[in-house]
Amino acid sequence: MGAVNTTSLPAGNTRNLHRFANPGQFLRLSGKILPPIAAISIILASVGLIWGLFFAPSDWQQHDAVRIMYVHVPAAWLASFGYFSLALASASSLIWRHPLADLAAVEIAPVGAAFTAICLVTGSLWGKPMWGAWWVWDARMTSVLVLFFLYLGHIALVRAFDDPQRGYRAGAILALVGVVNLPIIKFSVEWWNTLHQPASITLTGAPTMAPSMLWPLALAALGGSFGFSALVLARLRAAVMERRIRALTLAQIRTGA
């Protein structure tokens, strides 16, 4: 009876991951790393956006409308990065049953949806003066719109059940199925004839963009990534505290305190 069943303990990396499942430990650690992440995000994004808005050169064809790129491209990157994070959290929940993974998925989805909405609206604001239309059913735009609906579907689905665990599970399955949309977004400009240009930055070749435009774009994207992480971490801290409040309140009701 007194022996510990070691076979049920998570092994290797999983055990390391489960160390942070302790709410107190997570809150202490996240409380320490959140302020520097937020500060780095504000500094990098501010430098990148101010540089892009006022100091980067304008485009010979698009003129100053090209400056929309410094908010549109980071938002597009974060829309996909956010969904990938959502899928990772969902996989952690389904495979390893990590207690924080469900909460992380719930908190990632609204932030990802917000950045996807920014990407769609700024794309529309860029498209109107350049293409002459607010919206076209271009493969890249349509696949990003599908991504936005996947986020909204996840947000609605996790809240659609009386039993939160069933909602988390349904949301996790939707998130994993929706991952198929990420390569479609990435390669849509190569698979179909679209109004979007092919990627200017690739892993295998040199960027096709001038360094005077690439640097502010990289800083804005890096700052945005830190900002996304800070927002999710802050929301996750709140969610962990709210779950603890619910558990303690229920315990007090049950004991009649």
Partner 1 sequence: MTHLPYIAASYGLTLAVVLWLGIGAWQRTSRARVKLAQIDPRGDVR
The residues of the shown chain that bind partner 1, judged by CB under 8 A, are: 24, 27-28, 31, 49, 53, 58, 63-65, 67-68, 71-72, 75, 110-111, 114, 117-118, 121-122, 125-126, 128-129, 227, 230-231, 234-235, 237-238, 241-242, 244-245, 248-249, 252
Residue 63: what are its φ and ψ, rounded to 5°?
Answer: 55, -135
Q: Cβ closer to partner 1: 68 or 185?
A: 68
CB distance 105 to 174 below 8 Å: no
CB distance 50 to 239 below 8 Å: no
Least separation in angstroms between residue 131's CB and partner 1 is 12
Distance CA(18)–CA(29), nearest Å, equals 14
The candidate with the shortest Cα–Cα distance to 97, out of 172, 39, 190, is 172
The identity of residue 212, as a single letter, is S
Q: Cβ closer to partner 1: 154 or 237?
A: 237
Least separation in angstroms between residue 249's CB and partner 1 is 7
Task: Name the 3-class secondary structure at 135.
Answer: coil
Least separation in angstroms between residue 139's CB and partner 1 is 22
Q: Cβ closer to partner 1: 85 or 169?
A: 85
Q: Cβ closer to partner 1: 15 or 244?
A: 244
Least separation in angstroms between residue 28's CB and partner 1 is 8
Distance CA(124)–CA(71), nearest Å, equals 12
